Each structure stands twice: as structure tokens, then as C-alpha cells.
Structure 1
Amino acid sequence: MDAETYDLRGLNCPLPVLKTRRKLADMTAGSRIWVETSDPLAVIDMPNFCQTEGHRLIETISIRGGHRFHIERGST
């Protein structure tokens, strides 16, 4: 399944989570997205956001200067 990459590098907390929330709201349930961040707190914030909002965090990858989060939109 192809997934769009949403580049949020350069943004600091809470913007990566807020922008990801807004992006996922426009997607259909089951859709997937890669979110790239450079904010060091995103490694804590994104998993918490997914769990709280009912989305599935499929994978977290460390990349140069940050992280990539593979997220599947939940039905909420």
C-alpha cells in the first residue's frame, strides 16, 4: 500500500502532532501516511497521539536528523 510522505521537519512541539491530526482528519479510515519530523520530542508525542486518537502507528524509523512515523488512520 502506497503512503504519502508528510514532511514536518523543522517544526517543533506541538506543531508536528497538530498538523498530523489535521492531515489525518482529511483522510479516509485505513489510509496510511509517513510523517517526517526533526523534533526530538516527536518520538514520544506521535505514539501517544496515535494511541489517544485511535490511529495505528505501524512503524517508527530513525532518519538523519529525526524520525519517520508510518501511521494508519483509525476509524475515529
Structure 2
Amino acid sequence: MSTEIDIAETLDVKGLSCPMPIVKTKGAIDDLAPGEVLEVVATDPGSVSDIDGWATGTDGVMLLEQEEGDDVYTHYVRKEA
């Protein structure tokens, strides 16, 4: 992670494929308070573009960063409002 991010909750969606990572991410974000960050850990390579597109098209959500590791994709999403 290039910057220090204060993570409120981690969501493990490893082994799930589209659309489930997005469905579960939306549910977890809904439970957070504004300003809190959700870390989403996925194995679906499509989650990189899926979560980016979802965050871009969703009011009150901001994608802070995405990282690719050894077949694991980590996304940091902040609830804005």
C-alpha cells in the first residue's frame, strides 16, 4: 500500500466471481459510517475493473487504491456519505 489507510473492516471475497464481490462490497459499505474504509480482498481478476466501475458510478463511495499480489487483489473503498 503506497499510503497509510485506516481500515475499518476487511471483506474477504476470495473464491467468488462476478457479481458477488460487488454485491458483498455494497452490503459491507452500507454498514460503515461515513469516512470509514473497507478493505476488499478478492481472487477474481475481474474485481479490479468491476470495483473501479462500481465505485465510479456510485455516489457516496470512493475507490482509494487497488493492489495486485500473488493472485490476490486488494481494494480500498471509502464511504463518503
What code does the residue aligned with 1:2 have? D
Secondary structure of the 1:35 match is: strand
Tell me the alpha carbon deviations over residues 38-75 of structure 1, each in whole angstroms, 9 at most, x when there is no partner: 11111110001111112111110001112100110121
**Is residue 66 of structure 1 aligned with residue 43 of structure 2?**
no
Unaligned runs of 5+ in 2: none
Q: How far apart are the structure 2 equivalents of 1:15 and 1:74?
A: 22
Partners of 2:76 and 2:55 lie apart in 1 by 11
Q: Which has the higher helix share?
A: 1
Residues of 2 paired with 1:5 and 1:25: CA distance? Answer: 14
Q: C-alpha root-mean-square deviation of aligned residues, in Å?
A: 1.1
Aligned length: 75
Structure 1 spans left out of the alignment, 5+ residues: none
- TM-score, normalisation: structure 2: 0.85
The one-letter amino acid of 2:42's match is T
Give the fraction of aligned pairs with identical amino acids, expressed as a percent.
Answer: 27
Report the 3-state secondary structure (helix = DSSP H, G, I; strand = E; otherwise coil) of the residue aligned with 2:57: helix
Q: Higher mean Cα deviation, 52-61 or 13-22?
A: 52-61
